[in-house]
Amino acid sequence: MKILITGCNGQLGNEMQLLEKENTQHTWYNTDVAELDITNQLAVEQFVAEKKIDGIVNCAAYTAVDKAEDNKELCTSLNTVAPAYLAAAVEKRGGWMIQISTDYVFNGTKHTPYVETDTPCPDSVYGSTKLAGELGVQKFCKNSVIIRTAWMYSSFGNNFVKTMIRLGKEKEQLGVIFDQIGTPTYARDLASAIMTIINKGIVPGVYHFSNEGVISWYDFTKAIHRIAGITSCRVRPLHTDEYPTPASRPHYSVLDKTKIKATFGLDIPYWEESLEECIAKLKE
């Protein structure tokens, strides 16, 4: 197949490129904004038609959650409008699309893991635009998979793990939120799951994916410092209201992964095993 990857310079896009080397049976087109502006409908249609694209994995998104509150237009363009353009273009070729979405489509007031049939109720511009993106992809491409994920990190780009390692080395103490609960996702594990879905065959629908287990941001930070060998920084727990942010965050955003595991036969690693793998890569 000829497969288009958007957002190839991001965390997930970079991990996808590493796995492409093991999946040489397909032809991969790795693009970021310099190669393809996905907010330009004509450019998207021409690219998909000329390259005879069979499938698209959309890793591109506006993910600055707080800045999104003031940049609604740009956020909407990247998270809502662009995915619909991609979906419509690949549908014309009878192709498929995998759209990456987020736990932020929920407001986090539930106390049991979110399943795919739970009614979305976003509480931020970012969450609202990503939900609208999901709906657009499903509307314009019938052979589409939506994967909602959460707390993503990798050895690439800017993310929570790398920030906590840096701050842990710089500061004597850190305050980290303890009353927001979720599950980290190692982008390498998500990329691996996407490869499995591509190779086994698209089964349209909405799916949830993160690593296994449940943790708070505070406990996650403690684990990051322990694994990275940082002992000089004291981490103290903060309530959400002690650290106000422009965008509201879900207090509880654990995703139930039963459906994706059953449908594609995935074996998902525990969050701490994946964190150890990522920090080992960072030390290299």
Alpha-carbon distance of 188 to 16, in angstroms, equals 8
Residue of 85, 114, 126, 218 marked catalytic: 126
Q: Indicate if 126 belongs to the active site.
A: yes
Q: Which of 107, 81, 89 is CA-nearest to residue 51? A: 89
Please, where are the H alpha helices in the chain?
A: 11-20, 41-50, 65-68, 72-76, 82-92, 125-140, 160-170, 187-200, 217-228, 258-264, 271-283
Task: Write the CA distances from 217 to 7, 103, 164, 245, 266, integer angstroms.
Answer: 26, 15, 10, 15, 26
Q: Which of 173, 185, 240, 243 is CA-nearest to residue 215? A: 185
Q: Determine the 3-state secondary structure of 100 from DSSP.
A: strand
For the annotated catalytic residues, the residue numbers are 126
